Chain A
């Protein structure tokens, strides 16, 4: 039994945590939240210099060719620090989509730039409220152009290239759309997490290249999303751990009725419940990353389990962290809301809790899944 990260991987965690503690303290998050910025560009450059954006991209395309174990470690630290970066959009989604579906030429053109961080990528899936139905997308690809409205698209304001999910007469396609063109209109939209940018993208005969010059099976897209779900689960775990740490620290230092509030069972039991959910989320995330890294047939179930556990742990810890802080937790000045915002944002980005609970049970009963 070897269900643990390697020594080298633990060292990577230490290194990532130290770097983000130094260059992404909560002041950094606050600065983005308080401004019109969509990200902290200098932090992005630092993270890219460390090679984090190149982690799982093969060496042939300018990447480091490491495994998803390493990426999972970085994802947790991204969540822990609530980093105001387009890391998930560019690394878990756009790079992976191009790697999975791109032609040799498309991979050679885009992956080195995504690996180096000089380009930011994102994926445009959502079109309207409700669960995403891959067979009902309104965005259309005709010839070498694509048209439609995608919203919200995370990090589109800082992206250089967008993978747009669309339909043509042939079926479902993922289209590469460079942002810098007349056919793409980008308009910022406010979301509940202003430390990350979101946009509405209006595509009007935008120049587009179909990834792999072919349709993709919905199941292949779902395989990609399963992989992303594992990474999001690690990021959600990081958020949950930070929220628990903040709640614990406050419970030790805040006194009421002559003693630390952390000595009251009402608070102790709340924090113990956070620890329980975080532990379940961590163990499920371990299995998720194992299934992803080893390309196990168990991935759909493992990913859904990790995702549901991550959603639940992050939401609970973020909500109850505010509650533990009382009135101060409801202020702009305290950092509690960073975790509350990010936890909810991450729970919505690739399909929400009910969708993944449904996928989980499909995984258990080996039913095919369609919705996302």
Chain B
């Protein structure tokens, strides 16, 4: 075993490092832009030199890089704190869906500006009636000549307020069983009848939206997959979700816990010397290191051109509750000061408190802890699904709360 790049990987890394060192913006003008403007500028610069969406075919704006090369690129790009999150859903989840299901004309039209960041996409899946049970969605699309008319409501839509386009799953036949009556479209987020309302989260931020559809007209040419095949198309999007979500666990790591525990006192001693504190930190390190080395195992598979095993499915299920527990414990160590979120006064400028407030969202977004555990139990361990009361019956007859 070793942690070294292969010679080819090392050459690729060198190329990436060199390009980054010459192209990462350092000027004050860049940092004066809004985060979205920064992200678009940086994405376009990457795109122009062939460093955007590396795994995509060159005709769509990528460079046909291997998965391990994409990882190497992300490692090197992550050394600079640049805004890239705006494009995660579009490039990570929707791009692959368009590649699999869109017409050649649509691929040529939409993929390059998605890669360059000139057009931003969002994903309109969740609804008030369908979160974990996504296929229970009720937004309707009814045919009208060569068009469809969409009515209903989506929720938890990240970035809808700055997205140019969106992909949407709608019910086209409520008389069919739940999964069979769905179809999948892409839409213009500025089409008449689309109304976007931000959702203020418990953090006070508003990253998500409610999106209302009132008689929104969509051409049948904007359909991906057959009528009634929406669930399969949605699965293509969701399969890529884990790659796109879960990046934000950030700086809440054991190094921070140790720094805090060395800094504050318990019973007149540095907290780091307290056995209870050491026990907790050790357990988090087991999780943190375990995830890191699990990642190395997956990278090894990628480096050999193989698919990683199912072991990566534990990442969010371990990482999000760990973030919450650790943030809570570190605030406890700080005592009453732990409550301070004022950046000027708070320890570490308030990142612990922000992590604590953000953690509940991490435990829910992209599959709740409970859904993630179900996925491991069913897809990895081969356990049966829970019996479903809505199975095989027309959607209109499914009991609702």
Contact = CB atoms under 8 A, between A and B. Distances in A.
Contacts of B21: none
A294 B2 CA distance: 9
Contacts of B275: 354, 358
A4 interface: yes
Interface in A237-280: 244, 248, 251-252, 259-260, 262-265, 267-269, 271-273, 275-276, 279-280
A357 B290 contact: no
B276 to A, nearest CB: 10
Nearest to A69: B1
Nearest to A269: B373
B370 A269 contact: yes
Contacts of A4: 1, 297, 300-301, 304
A87 interface: no
Contacts of B301: 4
B290 A283 contact: yes
Interface stretch (B190-198, B333-341, B378-386): B378-386
Interface residues of B, number: 52
A3 B299 contact: yes
Contact of B282 (A273, A294, A358): A358
Contact of A268 (B68, B262, B300, B378): B378
Contact of A265 (B1, B4, B299, B374): B374
Contact of B381 (A271, A294, A304, A305): A271
Interface residues of A, number: 49
Contacts of A358: 275, 278, 282
A365 B297 CA distance: 26
Given A248-B381, A268-B378, A2 B314 contact: no
A190 interface: no
Contacts of B285: 305, 360-361, 364
Given A3-B3, A276-B376, A364-B281, A265 B386 contact: yes
Nearest to A354: B279
A279 B300 contact: no
Contacts of B272: 361, 365
Given A4-B1, A286-B293, A287-B289, A275 B282 contact: no
Contacts of B282: 304, 308, 356-358, 360-361
Given A280-B290, A286-B1, 11 more contacts: A2-B303, A3-B1, A3-B297, A259-B384, A263-B387, A268-B374, A276-B376, A279-B311, A309-B290, A356-B282, A360-B285
